[in-house]
Amino acid sequence: MRRQCEVNEAVLSRAGRYHEVADNLRVKEVRVSDRRYIVCYNPQEAVKDAADREAIVRALEDRLREGARELVGNRGYRRFLRVEKDAVTVDVKKIEAEARYDGKFVLRTNTTLPADEVAIQYKRLLMVEQFFRAAKSVLETRPIFHQWDATIRGHVFCSFLALVLVDELQRRLSAKGWKLEWDIIRQDLEALAQVEVREGEQWYLLRTTLQGAAGKVLQAAGVAVPPPVRPAQNVVPRL
């Protein structure tokens, strides 16, 4: 948006009402000659972008009071600075100009699809990319070097199946009005465990206390929480 003059000057400045596609997505179509653009706006991201910029500006002002001229070399800070001879100050006009990008991204398409469908398909493409990144980061799958096509297909299938289960769990949580980050879910589930103890000849299973979001996750998944203490069946004594 910032680099292309046509988008920056002609597309973003074009007046028009946004059409709501979802809670976090609104779109409007802009045509420049024979070129078709879709301006997408995310209200939640707009709030985040404004807050991030405000935090950067506050930090920048604090650093400038200390006379930190090396900030000019910082890319994140430099876009909000005005350098005049020996003076380095915060450029208010640059800050105001940056606000016009909050929560927005622009798509260019040669399709005849409706504007909302273009935006949805683009977000689905991003979702696929995020899924494969999640398989490495969120699910922490380790690198596997395959030698056979069958094992490659199996690895991809298992990774995709895991992501489908994660997505289904998130859907069930959302249906109950719970918005939980995956890192929190995984952390609280990892803390849930059971241990085997023996009293005389009888073995028991002791469950750890439910932590954080673990109870909500199990409820959304339809899994009954086992009692804190229950007799264990068919336990093989350990030497």
Over range 195-224, report the average pLDDT. 89
What percentage of the chain reaches a pLDDT higher than 70? Answer: 83
Is residue 206 scored above 80 in pLDDT?
A: yes
In one letter, which amino acid is 229?
A: V
| Helix%, strand%, coil% for the chain, nearest 5 | 50, 20, 30
- Better-predicted residue by pLDDT, 169 or 69: 169
pTM of the entire predicted model: 0.52
- Domain boundary residue, one of 80, 111, 142: 111
Rounded CA Rg of the chain: 26
Percentage with pLDDT > 90 across the chain:
20
Answer whether residue 216 is part of any domain: yes
Same domain as 127, residue 80: no
Distance CA 178, CA 126 (A): 24
| Whether 191 and 133 share a structural domain | no
Is 236 within a domain? no
The pLDDT assigned to 77 comes to 62
What mean pLDDT comes out for the span 175-198? Answer: 87
Beta strands 81-84 and 35-41, pairing class: unpaired
Question: Do 59 and 78 reside in the same domain of the chain?
Answer: yes
Confidence of residue 41 (pLDDT cuts 50, 70, 90): very high
Is there a single domain that holds both residue 81 and residue 175? no
Looking at the fold, whether 9 and 102 belong to one and the same domain comes out as yes
**Is a pLDDT exceeding 70 seen at residue 108?**
yes
Q: Are 104 and 24 in contact (CB under 8 A)?
A: no
Supply the pLDDT for residue 163. 77
Per-residue pLDDT, 121: 84
Q: Is 239 domain-assigned?
A: no
Number of separate domains in the chain: 3
Task: State the residue range of the domain holding 201.
Answer: 187-231
For residue 217, tell me if it sits in a domain: yes
Alpha-helix runs per DSSP H in 13-144: 43-65, 75-78, 92-98, 115-136
pLDDT at position 107: 92
CA–CA dist 165, 188 (Å, integer): 17
Looking at the fold, whether 107 and 163 belong to one and the same domain comes out as: no
